[in-house]
Amino acid sequence: MKDLRKHYTRGELLEENVPKCPFELFTIWFEEAISCPEIIEPNAMVLTTVNNMSAPDARIVLLKDLRDEEFVFYTNYQSHKGQQLEKNPNCTALLPWINLERQIIIRGSASKVSENESEAYFDSRPRSSKIGAWASTQSRNISSRQELEKQLKEFEIKFANIEPSKPPHWGGMAIAPLEFEFWQGRPNRMHDRLLYEKSSEGWILSRLQP
């Protein structure tokens, strides 16, 4: 591990070249991440929440929408993350585009999206994913893999002749950002870090030391 070392030379991030609005910069970087063949899941982000012991928790989720200045992902509301966000909506989402020598950290607050929005997205999913949402009580213990397969089979039979509707415990969460940090790797560990903070006058831009 000690000998693993990369030099970051792919780009720079300077105040004079960035838009005033962080959503615009997010969109530019997101499109570049989609176009980067080495990034296999450009919309994968590490979502950090706070558990009921005030300790941080983290996992990857897929970003599915950016609309009305909110970032939307979908999950089981009864999962650990779902319950944690219900109690404490503060969270961060980190997009680790290491192949571009970049990361974006979004700090904000999450709330459930409307049932209509969740249903519209659920209906667009492949049938197997829809059945999977019914078959897994996400984050709960299960005795074995076989038991999970059995649960799946039961729902495949149940939905054999009908299209699965959205389970009531499944849906979208929308993160409303309060801060964005854009990070671009630079040589000699002198990386660029630009911070956008939300204020009543709009977004305030500042630079952090690497």
Active site residues: 189
Q: Which is it for the CA torsion 25, 196, 59, 3, positive or negative?
A: positive
Q: Confirm or reject binding of residue 81 to ligand FMN (CB under 6 A).
A: yes
41/69 with CB nearer ligand FMN: 41
- Nearby residues of 114 by Cβ (< 8 Å), 6 or more positions away: none
Q: Which is nearer to ligand FMN, 169 or 198 (CB)?
A: 169
Q: Which stretch binds ligand FMN (CB under 6 A): 29-37, 55-63, 98-106, 200-208?
A: 55-63
**What is the spatial distance between Cα 56 and Cα 104, in angstroms, rounded to a whole number?**
19
Q: Site residues for ligand FMN, window 124-153 (CB under 6 A)?
A: 138-139
How far apart (Å, rounded) are the C-alpha atoms in residues 17 and 25?
A: 10
Q: Is residue 77 at the binding interface for ligand FMN, with CB under 6 A as the rule? A: no
50 in contact with ligand FMN (CB under 6 A): no
In the complex, the smallest distance separating the C-beta of residue 173 from ligand FMN, rounded to whole angstroms, is 9
CA distances for 109 relative to 47, 102, 114, 176, 209, angstroms:
12, 23, 16, 5, 25
Contact assessment for residue 105 and residue 181, using Cβ atoms and an 8 Å cutoff: yes
Q: How far apart are CA 20 and CA 22, in angstroms?
A: 7
Q: Locate tokens 């996400």: which residue?
A: 138
C-alpha dist (Å) from residue 19 to 1, 29, 139, 210:
38, 12, 40, 21
Terminal CA-CA length for the chain:
22
Could you tell me which stretch among 22-30, 78-86, 98-106, 117-125 binds ligand FMN (CB under 6 A)? Answer: 78-86
Under the binding rule (CB under 6 A), the answer on residue 71 touching ligand FMN is no
Q: Find the binder of ligand FMN among 14, 28, 34, 60 (CB under 6 A).
A: 60
Does residue 92 bind ligand FMN (CB under 6 A)?
no
Residue of the chain from 48, 79, 103, 184 that contacts ligand FMN (CB under 6 A): 79
Binding residues for ligand FMN, total number by CB under 6 A: 15
* Among positions 29, 73, 180, 196, the unique one binding ligand FMN when judged by CB under 6 A: 73
Binding residues vs ligand FMN (CB under 6 A): 41, 44, 57, 59-62, 73-75, 79-81, 138-139
